[in-house]
Amino acid sequence: MKSIKNKIFIALSLVASMFISTSCLNDDSDYWKDDVAGKAYATVLKPQLQSLGLKPAPGYVNYSFMINIATDELPTSDINIVMVKDPAAVTNYNTLKGTSFKVFPNLEILNPNIVIAKGTRTAMVNCRVWGAEALDACDKFIAAVSIQSVSGDIAIAGNMKSYLVSLPISNPYEGNYHASGTFTHPTAGVRIIDEDKVLSTVDCKTVKTTVGDLGAYDANFTVNADNTVTVTGSISASQPLIQSGVNTYTPATKTFVVNYYYVGGGGNRVISETLVRL
């Protein structure tokens, strides 16, 4: 019986790619072509850019991906494959896509020497990353791992040799906080603020939450490079929030101190809050 052909994304340029070392990351066919029948290629099963979100917290984050021997016959001997970290693949991706990803600085391949046993085609590569808490959440990162070498008469598919994963880092300020402070009304006096609040992501440096104890209106807190905080938002088109006094974020205690007001009938409504991460 004719063997079932291994259906794996192989580009028209596969044969030519045997002679180049860069990864063009383009695949445009979903079948095994007659002109490469009888040949074997080492590939990453999903060479398209993947994504794995990271929290800005200490500790390892593990991920895995599959490599494949693309053939129309099962291998008859064990195949040894060496995987390496490949910063150049990030540069190639940026050039190809017009992006500006940085190389994620902390990456380890846990099993860089892979053996694909005879009679099989695939194996898993296991990796881990760490250190997101020390990086800028506004930067964009990619971790890249590529096939470096393969034993036997097997070519490396130049356009399918790299596994690239983007690693977006969550806004480090989002989360649940306890707010304490005061809301001072010009005629009604002072109200005590003592409640839990959610600070949700607006962008990599900004979170939003409610204005004082007014649940219907939002205030935005943007953390600047020096850990001062810029307060923005509004009660209405003619009532913007105006910051005053001390506005800071303390990373060690995950604490916001904010002071701001808005103008209403009879005078200013003044909010002073300390928000501590729960």
SS (H, E, C) the chain: CCCCCCCCCCCCCHHHHCCCCCCCCCCCCCCCCHHHCCCCEEEECCCCCEECCECCCCCCEEEEEEEEEECCCCCCCCEEEEEEECHHHHHHHHHHHCCCCEECCCEEECCCEEEECCCCCEEEEEEEECCHHHCCCCCCEEEEEEEEEECCCCEECCCCCEEEEECCECCCCCEEEEEEEEEEECCCEEEEEEEEEEEEEEECCEEEEEECCEEEEEEEEEECCCCEEEEEEEEECCEECEECCCCEEECCCCEEEEEEEEEECCEEEEEEEEEEEC
Q: Does the residue 225 lie in any domain?
A: yes
Looking at the structure, tell me whether residues 157 and 89 fall in a common domain.
yes
Identify the CATH number of the domain in which residue 247 sits. 2.40.128.420
Q: Does the residue 8 lie in any domain?
A: no
Predicted local distance difference test score (pLDDT) of residue 108: 98
Predicted local distance difference test score (pLDDT) of residue 39: 83
Q: What is the pLDDT of residues 186-221, one digit of tens each?
A: 999 999 999 999 999 999 999 999 999 999 999 999
Looking at the structure, tell me whether residues 73 and 157 fall in a common domain.
yes
Name the domain boundary from 115, 145, 166. Answer: 166
Percent of the chain clearing pLDDT 70 (strictly above): 86
Q: What total number of domains does the chain contain? A: 2
Q: What is the pLDDT of residues 100-118, one digit of tens each?
A: 999 999 999 999 999 999 9
Looking at the structure, tell me whether residues 34 and 135 fall in a common domain.
yes
Residue 116's nearest CA partner among 165, 145, 82 is 82
Q: Tell me the mean pLDDT in the region 219-233.
A: 98
Looking at the structure, tell me whether residues 122 and 24 fall in a common domain.
yes
7, pLDDT greater than 50: no
Least confident piece of the model among 8-17, 33-42, 198-207: 8-17
The band of 69, judged by pLDDT with boundaries at 50, 70 and 90, is very high
Q: Does the residue 122 lie in any domain?
A: yes
Q: Does the residue 222 lie in any domain?
A: yes
Name the domain boundary from 149, 166, 183. Answer: 166
277, pLDDT greater than 50: yes
Q: Does the residue 272 lie in any domain?
A: yes
Q: Would the pTM count as exceeding 0.85?
A: no
Predicted local distance difference test score (pLDDT) of residue 278: 97
Name the domain boundary from 110, 142, 166. Answer: 166
Looking at the structure, tell me whether residues 41 and 129 fall in a common domain.
yes
Average pLDDT, the chain: 89
Looking at the structure, tell me whether residues 161 and 182 fall in a common domain.
no
Predicted local distance difference test score (pLDDT) of residue 72: 86
Looking at the structure, tell me whether residues 179 and 152 fall in a common domain.
no
Looking at the structure, tell me whether residues 135 and 202 fall in a common domain.
no
Domain that holds residue 149: 14-166
Looking at the structure, tell me whether residues 73 and 28 fall in a common domain.
yes
